[in-house]
Structures are given as C-alpha cells and as structure tokens.
Structure 1
Amino acid sequence: MPSRDSHTTVGTDRRSILKLGGTLGTLGITGLAGCMGGGEEGDGGDGGSDGGDTIQSDDSGDGTEETPDSLPRGGTFVVGAQQGVQTMSPFRGFLADYLLGEAMYDRLTRVNQSFEVEPNLAKDWEANDDYTVWTFNLREDAAFNNMDGQTMTAADVKASYDFLKSDSFSGSASSLSGVESLSAVDETTVEVELTEPDLNFTKRIAETGGAFFIVPKDVLDDDPAKLEDTDYGTGPLQLESWNQKNDITFSANDDYHIEGVDGEPLPYFDELKWNILSDNIQRANSLSDGSIDAVSRTSPNVAGRVSDNATLVKQTSGLQYPIVLNTTVEPLDNPKVRKAIKYALDREQILKAVSPEGVLGHHSGVTPVHTYYNDDLAVGDTFGTTANVEKAKELLSEAGYGDGLEMKTFHYDDGVPSKEVIAQLFQQQMKQVGIEFEINRLTEETWLSDYWNTDGVWYITNYSTRVLGSTVPQLALRSEGPWNEANWSNDAFDEAFAKATSATSEEEKAEAMKEMQRINHEEGAWVGTFHPKIYGGYKDYVQNYDLYPTYIKDFLSECAVDK
C-alpha cells in the first residue's frame, strides 16, 4: 500500500478503501460534509467541551433535510480541509482526491443523501425483465472542460469503461464487476450487459469511491497521464489553480447540466476555495473567526472552539470497526468459541469509551444507515450488548476450553485511534472469561501490506460507508468474497446471498438480505463494535448544508453562501 504522499488507484481495491476509511477519521476534518458527504468519527484533537453556538442532530434515518425553495447565488465558498490532493485524475488517488474528483467529474448516475438514484450523465434508463441488460439514454449537453466545448457521447462512456477494464488501470473497478460488455448503440445510447441480474446496478455504478467516471475518449487515446494535472471533467466545478500544499481554487461551471432549485445550473456559488489547514484546532478556530465557511469531520473534542455564528451538526454514519475472527487461527474455527467471544463482548462499554454519540448494530456487516438493514433483528439478539460472562464460559467449556484459552497475538493499526481503545477493552473483556492474548500495534501501512487478509492472524479491521448495503457482505463475508478476511464459509449464508444478488424484485432481495444478516449475526466470524457519528460545521450564512452518512460523496455544488 503506498504511503499517504504517493498515488494509489481509485476503485474498490480493498487497501485503497481501508486507507481511505482509516485516515479520514484520524485527524477529524477533511473536507465538507453537508454539501459533499459525511465522515468518520473525529478522534483526537484537544481543547473545549462539546459545544459551539448550535448543535443539530440529524437522526431521521435518511440523512436529509428538505431543500429550500430558493437559495442565493454567487460569492466564494471557502472550505477548510485537512489535506491537499495527490492527483486530479478521477482514476487515481485517495482521501480528498475522491471528494474533488466528484466535483470535477460525473458518472452516468448519482445518488442523493437518501441513497436514491438520480440522473446524471444518463438522463434516463431502462432494464430488461431480468435486470441483466441496462440501456442508458445520455444527455447531449454535458461538455468536457478544456476540450473546446466538446460534449460527452456514448464513445466517451465506452472508452472510459474500456480503460477501467484494461491493463492500464491497476485498480479494481468492482462497481463494474459482473459487467459482461458495454456497447455504444449510437451517440446517445449505451447498452450494458451483465452476467447476472442486478436490481441495484444504477446505484452500484454511483458507488462511493467507484472509478466509473466518464472522461474524454480523445484524452484516453492520446495520453491518460494528462488527467493527473488537468481537469477534463463535465462536473459542476472547473479547476483554476492547484497549490498542492496550501490551496486549490475552482470556478463554477456556468453550463453544468444539473439545475438548482431556481432552474439555473449548479453550483450556486461562483468560486470554491479549498484551503488546506492541517491542524484540527486551527480549522475549528478558522471556522469561528470566519476565515473559512465550512468544515466537516470535526472532533467533538474541539466543538467548544466553534462559536460565533457557526452551527455544528452530527449524524450516524455507516462506518464500522469489526473484529475479524479469522478461522485459520485456532480455535476460531470452532463456532462455540466464536459465539463465546460474542457473549463475552461488552459493546456498551466500548461505545461509551470510544464514541458515546455512536450507535450499535448487528454482528452482520450491514449498518443501520443502509437500505435492507434488518430492523426485525434486535441489536442485542442472541448475544446482547453487554457481556454475559457465564454463557461465554459455558460455551468455552463445551468447546473443550473450560480451563481457559491462550491465543495468538491480536493486532490493530494506528490508522484510526479508536482501534487502540477497542483492542485494549477487547483484551480486558476476553480475559474475564479466560481468553488471553497479547495485543500488538502496527502502522497502517504494515497492517495493510503484511497482515490484512492473511492466514494465521486476527485483528480489528475497518470499512467505510458504502452506497450499497450489500457491498460488504459481497466482498468480505461470503465464501468467495475477495475480502473474506475471516476465511469464513457458510452454505446457508452463500445461498441467501445468491438469492439476494439474483432477485428481480425489491421484496425478494430485502428478504434475502435479512436472512444473510441473521445468519452472519448468529454464526459468522464478524464481531461488530459500534458505528460512530460524524460531525460537521458551517457558518450561519451557508445554506443547504446537509450531512451525508458516507464521506466521499460530492455535494459541494448544492451549498450556497449569503455573506
């Protein structure tokens, strides 16, 4: 895994996603949450109690507030960001690169804060009866930047797809997994054939961190490296200047193809300044004194510094930090031992210690913010949310470990400070039932390169919020999942997964997803801990700010400033 100062590929390459999920939460504030997307919990930071002029909590479940009937136009919108970007290419980079990539480039579809699919470069679409062939009708008015007014056509969509499927792209474009072919029917029509039914394909290609942006065919044919420092997107913002260490400036795309509430093209502001302020306290102070207009991913520890006509908001995220019971580590291949660990776990203690504003979910891999989350399965079903020491010891005795159990070293990385607290509490809680082990701190890079998804080791992992609630089960939980870190296999789970992925109705898919969650919760090697809340902040003259439950979706253009 490259270091934070080097390039890595976009897409759903597992290590890219882990890097993204870990590092964003470490320093608290990275970009803008409401108008762009939510973030990880704010760990670390110092100074001030939970406070600020106003704190709003959005726990409605859909992460949205009603858009105003009218919004002001013009002005400069200044965002305080934790870091710069490594590249302007939508196919490469990590962290803020994703955020700004979505400001400059478009996909065929997009999702709103409720995870509902909306048109983007495709104005409409239809599927055949079994959802294996999707036909997209393209807009004719989406022009590329720096291409002399050239508009996007089906040939550009085809070229972008071919590039992501070629050896030239070193990432894993899993938003395109299962695609048998993509063809340009004519200049404004694209047909996609899938290897199996997919009800959610239009949502999947809008996936968080997904690589299926549309770029000009001429650029890809000439030299894809041009994307590294030049904006060729069709997005709402155009790159004006890029000072990698200090700031990035964008101007509004006056001819953007998506309209605001007033019927005029987004964005509402004339200019965006992405000011890079590496210190957490500095960003909070800058928001208070008006040097910047908005931040996101702010730690509650610095919330008290945010004052003077500023508002803080918080919302439950879909981030998760599960403990992976790798079944190649003895005796984690024994179901009774795995269940004993779940009974011995005190998740309420973990939540209180790490993120009292967070929430608990199932041991299932699907988070409470997602569509298809099994609300019928109680959070404390079977194992409870606090420790049941007697039940845990009983199961260990039945498994042949009545006198206790010494296990291999348990690992965690420094990418997210919460992991250290979880590891320490986990060690203490397991000791209460006779399960003892040492814990070992790794650098994030070492964990990713030498420990992640490796036989014979067990650890805490982390997953970012995905647009699709089925992404983690698909990649990390099923037997053939490429991220099956636990090496766990369950025929009933795989059967339910197959039903979910082949479903041709929402009802059928929802029922199969519920069954998958129940099985993994009760039998799986995935131990859920908690889901943190995200914090953001904005000045009172910023309008239409709305936290998003995932943190690399771009809603910059939907904010407005009136100052």
Structure 2
Amino acid sequence: MVVSLTRRQLFGAGAGAGAGLLLAACGSSPASAPAPTPSAPAPSGSGAAAATPARGGVLRVGALGKASSTTRDPHGVQANESDYLILSLVYDALTVPGASPNVAPRLASAWEPSDDLKRWRFTIAEDATFHDGSPVTAEDVVWSLRRLRATPSGSARLPGIEAGAIKADGGAVVLTSSYANSELPLLLRLTTFVLKKDTATVAGSPGTGPFRLESFRNGNARLVRNDRWHGGEVALDAVEVQMFESPQAMANAMLTGQIDLASNVGAVAARTAEGRGDVQIVRRPNDMSMPIVMRTADGPFADERVRQAVRLAVDREAMVKQVLSGYGAVANDILGTGDPDYAKDIPQRTRDLAQAKRLLGQAGLDLSMTYELFTTEDIPGLAESATLFATQVREAGLNIRVVKQDPGVFWDKTWLKAPLYTTYWGTNDSVVFFAGKTLSSDAAQNEAAWKDDAFDRTYLKAVGTVDAAERAPYLREMQRIEHERSGYLLWGMADGLDLASPKVRDLPTLPGYGRVQLERAWLAT
C-alpha cells in the first residue's frame, strides 16, 4: 500500500518553513507521490479574502536594477532584481518555494528518490509547453540543466550533480548525486530554468512560464499572459516591469500612480507610507539576510580571533533599528533563520567591545591600517549597513573604509574574492540550503572561502539521514560550528516590503524567490 507522508514525517526536520515536499512511502523506503498542487498565495489588501479574482488588466511593477548590469540569460548571474523578476515569470524552474510544504512543483510534477537518496527522478508535467506551443521534453530539461551546470556558479545551483549525471528517462529527468542528498528538490528551487534544446540565442527565447516576453528595452519589459501555461489560469492580461535605480524613485512612482507595485522597496519607503489609506504595505518577516563576509582563506580575517572580534564589535539592535527602521530582527551569525530546526538554544551573540579589543590584540592585527569593506546598492539598506558597521567597529579600534561599487563590477570583481564585503540572500528557510550553497568546502558560492572538515562531515551526515531523531543533532552541530568560526557576520534579518495600490490583490507573501511569483495576482475594478 502507498501511504502519503509529508517531508517532515519522512525525511525529518530542517527543510524550511513548513513540512517540505510531499512524498509517498511503501514500507520504509522513500518514494514519490505527485507533488502537491500549488495553492494561491495568501490574499493581500483590504477585502481581498472575500473577492473573486477578476480576469484582465495590466499590472505595472517597479523593480530595482541598473542598465549596466542587465542580463537576459536565465542561467547567468542576475544582479538586478528586475531581471530576476522577468526571468522568473517567463521561465519555469523544476521546483519553487511553497508555504506548506516549502517545496512546490513547477515544471516537475513529482519527484522520487532512490533508497540511498543519490538518484532522483523528476517527472516533467505532461501538459507543459513552450510559448511557441511545442511540448517540453525531458531532453530539453537535460540540455538546460547541463548548460546551467557549465556556468561558473553551476556547481552551486546543482550541488553534487555533474553534467554527465543528468539524463533523460522517458518523460522524466534523472539526477544522480555524488552523495546521499535528501534535500535535492529544495536545492533546485531557484534557477533551474528550462530552455528549448540547442537554443542558440538565449535572449528572448521561448520559455514555459505563466507569461511570455512581448518586448524588452533597457531593462524594462512587457510580459503577456501565456494561455497555454500548465500551472493553471492566470488572471492578468500582462505585467509591465519598469526598472528603477533607487528605491526612493520607485516608491515615488508608486505613490504618484505611475506603477501599481513597488517590489522590495525597503524600510524607509514603507515607514513613509505608513498610515496612508491609499497604499498597501505587504510585509514578509524574516525575508532577507544581509551578512558581512570575511574571507577566511587568507588576508586580515583569516585569523579566527579577528572574525570573532568583528562579530563582538557590532551592536545588532542598533543595526536593525537604524538600517531597517525596525522592520527586521536581530540575528545570530547563522544562516537559515526560518528553518524549524534553527538552533535557538545557541546563545545570542551580543556586543562586547572589551573582548573584541582583547581578541584583536591577541591576533596581532595591524590596527594602524585602514581595511576596505566593499558594498553595492542592489537592495535597500545594504550600503547603509556597511556604513553603520564601519562606525561601530571603529570603537574596537578597527578602521574600515566603505567602498561602494556598481553591481556589475561588484559581482564580477569583488564577490567571492575580496577580504571583506557585503552580500545578501533572499532565502532563509533552510540551514541545509546555505550549508550546501555557501558553507561547505567545495561549494562554488563559498563566499568566505571557508573550509572546515568537521562542518563538511556533519553536513553530509545531515543530508544523508532520513530519520528525524538521528538528523537533529547533525543540524544543531552544523549551526554551532558556523556560529563559532565561519566567515559570516549575520547581524539581522530584514523584512521584505512591497508597496502596492489597493486594487492589487493576492500578492505573494512568501520570502525570497517566492515573492516574484506574481501569476496569481489580479486587479480589482
């Protein structure tokens, strides 16, 4: 007999906010059931819960970006939020974030692991087609995933999966991991976008998503409804995406009626809009982390004592209050704060200037020098966090000069390379996600160049363990090690904040990638 189980029941805790993907079991062996049908996002806006979605209308969306950083490659680095929004509506990934469970189907309708959790079979939705009407085949998916794997960040986006381990099997794609990995469906949620096999010109190529690209110019785009979309009915006739270089300009455009939705507009704009009856504030708690990265392989922060001193020199409550205007929460240097197995029992690190000074002295760091902290203005509050951080650590004797860079320069020249820089992540529902993407020694996006054998061993035990009771101590140990000696200073979690016209209904409330899933939104008349 086949019995349906939630991922929490079968694979244990630690997958994120919710139970995880649905599977079925026969006896004690993992097996798949059809993945759950995506539910509409939680309603937003006054009276939305009782209203029936109306078909039609054009949703005008503002998103942050810079013309110098524009990309139209779904497998490239998307430094602009506007690009990511467009690509996420035009192309389908295999899986996407969900509320409960936290992994929902998209182009993959179901998934099934082998008993040893190394071989995963993803069934492609039977009625999935490209925008030109041609059916999506397993060969299309294999070609796309191999293309993704060949990009500089491909090993992070497909962790443990080599190009030769991606194969077609009838109407399914089989991915074979180099290690047991119970979390693979979760790790495929971001950019496993699918193109037609042998696509020569990627820009403007047909996708499989809820909208198709009608026009694109200088980062601005018009997307029209894809009536063939396999994921269900889409109410909006079109989405028009307008790129803004600053959150202030985007907020002003929304408040003056030039756009209907200001996406990820930031705390300052939200605070300004408070109390206005003609504006919705959509708030997603614990939405985004903005850690400071300290390179551990070499340079001034390679000494663990220096990293500990930096973490002790920061006033986290002041950072949340001043940078986020209170729209956020203090964090404890552990990525994945939304995970049900987040280790709340690890003592919260607080400011201790005396200890910070002692550690800097013990490490022998040259305090006569000025060290550079690189940042960008990709998202609201990022550059401001760098400036306040520099002010705070000066009280411990550490001199920091903040260097602001254009996003294109930052992501090409600084990210993964500089001794000290800011970064940000819009996914926070899984400790394991970050372990595989940014913390394990062989992670392609190992931002701090951190290598810790004990952490690596514990991570492999965690993802290779099915039983919840056996898995829990591994998850806790991973977080303890990260808290003590990684290259991250995670001072707080920012709330995600959108401003919207009252007529915009059913906006997504999930964090990270989830917030760009606008296919269920509609306009009230």
TMscore range, shorter length: 0.7 to 0.9
Query: CA 1:558–1:542 in 2, change beyond 3 Å: closer, same or farther?
Result: same
Which residue in 2 is equivalent to 1:321?
290
Which residue in 2 is equivalent to 1:105?
91
Q: In structure 1, how many angstroms separate the alpha carbons of the residues matched to 2:169 and 2:107? A: 16
Q: In structure 2, how many angstroms separate the alpha carbons of the residues matched to 1:505 and 1:151? A: 39
Which residue in 2 is equivalent to 1:257?
230
Which residue in 2 is equivalent to 1:3?
none
Q: Which amino acid aligns with 1:117?
A: V
**TM-superposed deviation, 1:549:** 1.6
**Does the CA-based 8 Å contact 2:41-2:506 persist in structure 1?**
no
Q: Which has the higher contact order (CA 8 A, sep 6+)?
A: 1
Q: Aligned to 1:391, which of 324, 333, 355? A: 355
Percent identity between the two aligned chains: 24
Alignment of 1:253-332 (within 5 A): 253-259=226-232, 265=233, 267-276=234-243, 280-281=247-248, 283-303=250-270, 304=272, 307=276, 309-327=278-296, 332=301
Q: Deviations over 1:92-125 (max 9, x none)?
A: 4622222111212212322224571222222222
Higher percent of residues as strand: 2
Which residue in 2 is equivalent to 1:153?
137
Q: In structure 2, how many angstroms separate the alpha carbons of the residues matched to 1:89 and 1:396? A: 44
Q: In structure 1, how many angstroms separate the alpha carbons of the residues matched to 2:174 and 2:273? A: 53
Q: Deviations over 1:428-487 (max 9, x none)?
A: 444434x33342424245555554444xx6323213223654343334333444444544
Alignment of 1:181-196 (within 5 A): 181-186=165-170, 188-196=171-179
**Does the CA-based 8 Å contact 2:41-2:507 persist in structure 1?**
no
Which residue in 1 is equivalent to 2:423?
462
What secondary structure does 1:376 align onto? coil
**Does the CA-based 8 Å contact 2:157-2:437 persist in structure 1?**
no
What secondary structure does 2:500 align onto? strand
Tell me the TM-score normalized by structure 1: 0.73
Q: Structure 2: where are the runs of 5+ without partners?
A: 1-39
Q: In structure 2, how many angstroms separate the alpha carbons of the residues matched to 1:173 and 1:339? A: 30
Q: Which amino acid aligns with 1:131?
A: L
CA-atom RMSD in angstroms: 3.3
What secondary structure does 2:110 align onto? strand
Which residue in 2 is equivalent to 1:239?
213
Q: Which amino acid aligns with 1:250?
A: L
**TM-superposed deviation, 1:154:** 1.9
Query: CA 1:390–1:295 in 2, change beyond 3 Å: closer, same or farther?
Result: closer
Q: Structure 1: where are the runs of 5+ without partners?
A: 1-62, 260-264
Q: In structure 2, how many angstroms separate the alpha carbons of the residues matched to 1:105 and 1:552? A: 14
**Does the CA-based 8 Å contact 1:199-1:505 persist in structure 2?**
no
Alignment of 1:390-469 (within 5 A): 390-396=354-360, 399=362, 405-407=367-369, 409-415=371-377, 418=381, 420-433=383-396, 435-444=397-406, 445-454=408-417, 458-466=419-427, 468-469=430-431
Confirm or deny that 1:81 pairs with 2:62.
yes
Q: Which amino acid aligns with 1:105?
A: Y
**TM-superposed deviation, 1:420:** 4.8
Which residue in 2 is equivalent to 1:229?
204
Which residue in 2 is equivalent to 1:504?
466
**Does the CA-based 8 Å contact 1:71-1:268 persist in structure 2?**
no
Q: Deviations over 1:182-212 (max 9, x none)?
A: 22222x23322221111111121122xx2x2
Q: Which amino acid aligns with 2:240?
A: K
Alignment of 1:143-182 (within 5 A): 143-146=129-132, 149-165=133-149, 172=154, 174-180=156-162, 181-182=165-166
